[in-house]
Structure 1
Amino acid sequence: MFDDSWLEDQRALRDADAGLRRLAEAGARLRREFGGAEEPLLQMSVLERPRAVIAVGSEARFIRAMLEPACPVPFVAWPAHGLPGWVGALDLVVVMASDLVTPALLATVHEAVRRGAQLLIACPPASIIADHAVSSSTILLPTSTADPLAAAIVTLAALHRLQLGPEVDPWQVADAMDQVATDCSPYVNVAENPAKDLAMGLAEAHPLVWGGSVLAARASRRVAEALRAASGRAALAADADELITVLESAAPRDPFADPFEDAVSADRRPVLLILDDGNPEPPIRHAHARLRTAAERNDIRVCVVQHASGSDVERYATVLQTGMYAAVYLAVGLGRYLQS
């Protein structure tokens, strides 16, 4: 059972310090990575525009979500071992390897170098993958924090220098992350803390997480993963039509149910969690309204994480970080840190 008093309990919060501290330092990690990449970023403006861009590694799909609407050349987020057969010296291979290096990723880097492709790689400078990436066509963005999102944002700034994607200001994104850390701090009480309030809304439920835009949808999948890990329960991130099917099939609420005696996992009702990054496109607003209507019709709680100001990346980082804080507080309220 969820105990909301633990959200203000110093011992319980102290046990969750590692997770909370990691979230709180997100802005500082981004500033560190961006500051360390100052020299290689200057090299980007002298490169010629590639024929195509291929992104691999962690956060490659985030890079795709940012570049696809604006990239003037074909873009591929490549999930498989190696590279497409057509990749050659006219193409740019973007490798995200700031945190996890697999044999498949090493093989992909080796293949890019062998074919003479331009290579933009974000990784620690003293690492085996950096050794494999050495060539006259390689630009290395040095990383030191093992934070894939920070490395991806710096990579987006580099790709903007090549006129391949939108402008990204890592300093402003870091400030947005700092604001989330302030708002969701463990020292802010439940009444004023959006992440603690969200954790209480998800306390005894199966979360259904929706984000309408491409970036919000990616954030919804990340938040759902964190909620599953925090609670050991099902948490589903899906498109609006799929979630509406689940909402419409939910069993009616029992007004006489005792939350202490009847808290059986199979009987938990869903809660709809909407990550709203303020995207104004009519199809997204229409889907938003349909989900709310379906939830209200079936007496299902709706929780909203909303941020509508700033750049696309600032809004993405804000809704994502708020959801991740809520996952930590959900684990705190369930006593999962006390049990470990």
Structure 2
Amino acid sequence: MIDDSLLDDPAALQRADHEHALLGLAGAGARVRNALRLAEAAGLAGLRPDGRPRTVLVAGHGAALTAGSVLEALAVTSTQIAALPPHDVTHLAHGHHGTPAFTAGLVWQLPGWAGPLDLVVLATADGGEQGLVSLAQQAYARGCAIAVIAPAESLLAEAAPQVRALPLPYVPAAPVDTEEDLRPAEADLPAEEVGALWAFLTPLLALTERIGVTQLPEGSLEATADRLDELAVRCRPDAAAYTNPAKDLAAQLSGTVPLLWADGALTAVAAERFAAMLAERAGRPALPGVLPQVLTAHRGMLVAKLGGAADPDDFFRDRVDEPDPLLLQVVLLRRAAAVEDEFTDPGYAVSRARRLADAHGVRTSDLSTAETDPLQALAELIALADFAAVYLTLATP
């Protein structure tokens, strides 16, 4: 269970935050601005597209694939978006430029239909994966347009000119001037840097805006950077739990199995990201899904009352050694309209979800946004969920 006193102790939170995750989240807005500036300098401003690609394939792993899911939710209907996760592991050995063993043997493969009408975006925070270099060569041989998001001077960045790829820099996290954490790192299961999503998403969206695959409101990326700054202030460590929405959400999730129910395609991406952050940062399982289908998919857990307490009428049971029950918690991720109509979708599905959870004694909470700009709406949901996952981690003994 969470230690509530830790949530209101900024010094204790800082001591517990060995990976400087809170600082990484607070710097998301600045990272978006830097990525935009560097993308323009890398040649995006001079790009003269000749129509939209048929398909945009986003290849990578971790947050790079999440960025592809965001793109899919934001793209115009005339262009298909496809994620290219690694599909095989050939060996486990250290790769180029100190690539961790986990990524050294990953292999990517283009689908058979990919060709000159398609754009392949290769995204990595390391840049040393030989599998992505091989994928770039496959795409070049097929005549695909290619863009690379990778750290400067990495193996993949150096290969970009050879395959006529547009190089878009991966902006790393700002260095932290604190005593280095001396705990050994996991080579086979390395933790992904907490702000990597924005380092991938910013150049990806800047590119897709330029070629017409997305059509966001004017200045959306710049406004999103400002929105991330505002959220970092609201969710800062020295903000009391009763005024900090991320700390409040972390406290609600303590000792629960969250069911993350989204009201549409955009919020579904935020739900998937939230589940990934809870698993990665807090070591907690969470189950995302989209309304109304998720009501059927998760029905069994509600009916069975997962983790319910022992029979309250059993007066003679041993309460001393009885563990705290693990309870379900529904979190509704939604884009809140000015007036929620009881008989329209998604408003009706959300109302039905609340009634169903209440009927089975399952607590519900809201993670909602009133932003009309879809990117800013997504940024608000993701930022609040990211901070909540980190606070849940730091305040759990």
- Whether TM exceeds 0.5 here: the answer is yes
Aligned ranges 1:72-111 → 2 under 5 Å:
72-79=78-85, 80=87, 81-99=108-126, 102-111=129-138
Alpha-carbon distance in 1 for matches of 2:77, 2:162? 25
Partner of 1:130: 157
RMSD: 2.7
Q: Work out the CA distance in 2 between the residues paired with 1:262 and 1:247.
A: 26
Say if 1:135 and 1:175 are closer, same or farther in 2 by CA, change over 3 A: same
Q: Residues 155-183 of structure 1: CA distance to partner in whole angstroms, max 9, x if unpaired?
A: 11211211122226211111111111111
> Match for 2:15: what amino acid?
D
Q: Which moved more, 1:184-193 or 1:99-108?
A: 99-108
Deviation at 1:199, TM superposition (A): 1.2
- Alignment correspondent of 1:288: 350
The letter of the residue matching 1:95 is L
Secondary structure at the aligned position of 1:238 is classed as strand
Distance 2:396 2:211 in 1: 47
TM-score, scaled to structure 1 = 0.87
- The answer to whether residue 96 in structure 2 is matched with residue 37 in structure 1 is no
Shift in alpha-carbon separation, 1:189–1:261, aligned structure 2, 3 A: farther
Aligned residue for 2:145? 118
Aligned to 2:279: 228
Kindly provide the CA deviation profile for residues 60-91 of structure 1, in whole angstroms up to 9, marking residues without a partner as x: 22222222xx1424443333522122322332
User: Taking structure 1 as reference, are residues 30 and 177 closer, same or farther at Cα in structure 2, changes over 3 Å only?
Assistant: same
- Partner residue of 1:218? 269
Q: Decide whether the 8 Å contact of 2:33 with 2:225 is kept in 1.
A: yes
Aligned equivalents of 1:150, 1:46: Cα separation in 2: 23
- Is 1:98–1:124's contact at 8 Å kept on the other side of the alignment? yes
Give distance in 2, aligned partners of 1:228 and 1:82: 27
Cα distance in structure 1, aligned partners of 2:216 and 2:275: 29
Which amino acid is 1:264 matched to?
A: P
Deviations 1:177-200 (A, max 9, x none): 111111111111011111111111
Of the three residues 300, 303, 308, the one matched with 1:245 is 300
**Aligned to 2:392, what secondary structure does the other structure show?**
helix
Question: Is 1:63 paired with 2:71?
Answer: yes
User: What letter is aligned with 2:84?
Assistant: W
Partner residue in 2 for 1:180: 231
Q: Is the 8 A contact 2:127 2:151 kept in 1?
A: no
Q: What code does the residue aligned with 1:176 have?
A: R
Distance 1:203 1:46, change over 3 A: closer
Aligned partner of 1:269 in structure 2 is: 327
| Corresponding position: 1:190 with 2:241 | yes
Tell me the number of residue pairs that the alignment of Structure 1 and Structure 2 aligns.
331
Cα 1:113–1:176 change in 2 (3 A) is same
Look up the match of 1:199.
250
Instruction: Provide the secondary structure at the position in 2 that maps to 1:140.
Output: strand
Distance of 2:237 and 2:3 partners within structure 1: 15
Distance 1:137 1:217 in 2: 35
Q: How far apart are the structure 2 equivalents of 1:106 and 1:211?
A: 36
- Compared with structure 1, are the counterparts of its residues 255 and 323 closer, same or farther at alpha carbon in structure 2 (3 Å cutoff)? farther
Q: What is the CA distance between 1:312 and its match in structure 2?
A: 0.9
> Pick from 323, 336, 339: which aligns with 1:278?
336
Checking the alignment, whether the CA contact within 8 Å between 1:272 and 1:302 is kept in structure 2 is yes
Is the contact made by 2:72 and 2:80 (CA closer than 8 Å) also made in structure 1? no
Do the aligned residues in 1 keep the contact of 2:149 with 2:170 (CA within 8 Å)?
yes
Report the CA distance between 1:7 and its aligned residue: 0.7
CA contact (8 A) 1:33 1:150 kept: yes
Residue matched to 1:49: 52
Paired position in structure 1 for 2:380: 318
In the other structure, the counterpart of 1:10 is 10
* Distance verdict in 2 for CA 1:221–1:91, change over 3 Å: closer
1:304 offset after TM fit, Å?
Answer: 1.1
SS of match in other structure, 1:283: coil
**Offset of residue 48 of structure 1:** 4.3
Tell me the distance in 2 between the aligned counterparts of 1:302 and 1:101: 44
> Is the contact made by 1:207 and 1:234 (CA closer than 8 Å) also made in structure 2?
yes
Where does residue 24 of structure 2 map in the other structure?
Answer: 22
Please give the TM-score of this superposition, normalised by the length of structure 2.
Answer: 0.75
List, as ranges, runs of 4+ consecutive aligned residues in structure 1 with deviation greater than 4 Å. Answer: 251-257, 260-263
Q: Following TM superposition, by how much is the alpha carbon of 1:135 offset from its aligned partner in structure 2, in angstroms?
A: 4.2
Q: Distance in 1 between matches of 2:26 and 2:263?
A: 26
| Percent identity over paired residues | 29
- The residue that corresponds to 1:338 in the other structure is none
